[in-house]
Structure 1
Amino acid sequence: MNKKFAWLALTAAAAGAQAADWSDTALTYRQGSAFAEPFNTKDISKNILGLTHASGYKYGSNFFNVDLLMSDSKDPASAGSSTGAQEVYAVYRNTVDLSKVTGNAYKFGIVRGVGVTGGFDFNSKADAGYNSKKRMLVVGPTLMLDVPGFLNISLLELFESNSPYSTYSHSGVGRYTYKSHPMIGLSWGIPFQVASVPLSFEGYANFIAAKGKNEFGADTAAETNIDMQVMYDLSGTKTFKVGLQYQHWKNKFGNNASGPAGSGAFAKTPMVRAEYHF
């Protein structure tokens, strides 16, 4: 992967290590029984444990999330196994607010600020079919909109590679780098009330261009990944939240749902979600 972008990711991480002006850390749990995986036609149940951290510092903001995804036996850990696959997926984003860096205001219309976002995705999954080892760096501009809570829109360039191994065929692929490709990403957290009940609408939406040929020489497809939830502040102090979540993920990981990957490349997954903030 390009050394320049590795340097950018390290710079973003170093910037995020500064003392926080504010922070929010949460342990999360979610569960659903209609998860999908490419080349698998079965509905999969997963329990997901997560750790999420968001914070603001002198020049911008940080976001970090790591999930442990535990599948049932319909997504087996290895060929012939009755044990479900396990996956770790981590995401880090650092957004540098240009207004805070330069002292100049970047406001126009509904936009309250402009930033530059950098970060990475990392995953490792032990399963029967693919055993993903994704590595991805991201960088690009971000618009911060003037709404209750927050709504950010980013245009990011993605630099992704993988090195899968199949336990069915006992064959693997050396680290393969896809064609760099753009993504429009939205993230939001907007509080609202219904009959004085404190609620929030949260989530993200990623619209990802195709990334050229995959490691087996097949064309990839553009992805749509929308993950959103409505949360209820059960504690009244934003300490304990519960809610409902839904994920719409078409052409998952760039696999065409109209091709050999089949219906498993189109996830339509309702979930229950709980969060403990500290």
Structure 2
Amino acid sequence: MFSRKSSIIGLALLAAGMTAQAADWSDTSIGYRYGTKFAEPFNNNDIKKNIFSLTHASGYKYGSNYFNVDMLMSDNNDSPTVNGVPNKQSQAHEAYIVYRHTLDFGKIAGKSLAIGPFRGFGFTAGFDYNNKSGDGYQSKKRMLVAGPTVMMNVPGFLNISLLQLWESNEPATAAFRKQGRYDYDPHPMLNLAWGIPLGDSGFSFSGYANFIAAKGNNENVVQTKTKAETNIDMALLYDFSGIIGAQKNTFKAGVGYQYWKNKFGNDHNGAAGDGAFAKTPMLRAEYHF
């Protein structure tokens, strides 16, 4: 169970974002990603996934909001396994939601706090939520996050946050469930999020990097220790808006790459196997409105 303190912190800051005044700026987009080398722990097969996303970012008087929902649709290699071989009777589907609200201390104080390489300072809180069906695990992740953020002085943005995570899960498969919802140990994550235009070239470099500490024992009936994980997802996109007669930064497309070592804290050198170490090139596209 999440601690009372963490719940109060998370809910208070989420309420601050939801009750904010009209946005000073906003950007909403729909996106598409496709790759054939996705990976899942305890499954050594390459998995094809189509991922559709809805993303919204906005800024208001005291800070900013970020919301993203991914709908992930796998091929039948992402299905329950027997001796490591998918039975291919189903295709997994997943919804993954991320929300972050950042209070900007400079905006609250009504003055710039920029110094040296730092554009500003703030505090970020939010949550992750997922629901997956059709595979052998059927994750139901719930996670609160909270911690300080620094905004770097770069073109576009680069935010660096040190977040505490309170995570739980309730997999449907009995082999992965001790009893009811399972709470991992609270643990820290260093998060980098960026979106940087590459001069006037029309290209932009965006993504995030999560460096996550181990979170205690796995929820398996026979428990093992989790491992620290590294999850880097990045994209190099070109602005094709002019070709379709749209305003600048309306339609972007290009390539992406995800590097995810010890996925979900599973040791890729242990029973989780190569599926716990994803190295996935992707095609990506975004339409902003």
8 Å Cα contact 1:163-1:172 kept in structure 2: no
2 CA distance for matches of 1:77 and 1:231? 35
Asked whether 1:190 is paired with 2:217, we answer no
Partner-residue secondary structure (3-state), 1:28: strand
Aligned twin of 2:184 = 178
Find the partner of 1:148 among 155, 165, 171.
155
Asked whether 1:46 is paired with 2:53, we answer no
Deviations 1:99-145 (Å, cap 9, x if unpaired)? 11123432222001000000000000013311100000000000000
Aligned twin of 1:84 = 91
| Greater per-residue strand proportion | 1
**What is the root-mean-square deviation of aligned Cα atoms in Å?**
1.7
Q: CA deviation at 1:68?
A: 0.5
Unaligned 5+ runs, structure 2: 243-247
Q: CA deviation at 1:244?
A: 0.3
8 Å Cα contact 1:164-1:172 kept in structure 2: no
Q: CA deviation at 1:77?
A: 6.7
| TM-score with structure 1 setting the length | 0.94
Report the CA distance shift for 1:166/1:267 in structure 2 as closer, same or farther (over 3 A): same
Asked whether 1:20 is paired with 2:26, we answer no
Q: Which runs of 4+ in 1 moved over 3 A?
A: 77-81, 169-173
2 CA distance for matches of 1:170 and 1:197? 49
Partner-residue secondary structure (3-state), 1:197: coil
Find the partner of 2:225 among 203, 215, 219.
219
1 CA distance for matches of 2:65 and 2:235? 21
Report the CA distance shift for 1:62/1:267 in structure 2 as closer, same or farther (over 3 A): same
8 Å Cα contact 1:226-1:249 kept in structure 2: yes
Asked whether 1:97 is paired with 2:104, we answer yes
Deviations 1:34-68 (Å, cap 9, x if unpaired)? 00000000000000010000000100011110000
2 CA distance for matches of 1:92 and 1:171? 27
Asked whether 1:67 is paired with 2:67, we answer no
Aligned twin of 2:245 = none
2 CA distance for matches of 1:253 and 1:229? 22
1 CA distance for matches of 2:113 and 2:80? 50
Aligned twin of 1:129 = 136
Q: Percent identity?
A: 59
Deviations 1:211-247 (Å, cap 9, x if unpaired)? 0111122100000000000011100411111010000
Aligned twin of 1:233 = 239
Report the CA distance shift for 1:171/1:94 in structure 2 as closer, same or farther (over 3 A): closer
Partner-residue secondary structure (3-state), 2:268: coil
2 CA distance for matches of 1:246 and 1:21? 32
Aligned twin of 1:210 = 214
Asked whether 1:259 is paired with 2:270, we answer yes
Unaligned 5+ runs, structure 1: none
8 Å Cα contact 2:170-2:177 kept in structure 1: no
2 CA distance for matches of 1:180 and 1:147? 32
2 CA distance for matches of 1:241 and 1:82? 36
2 CA distance for matches of 1:69 and 1:77? 17
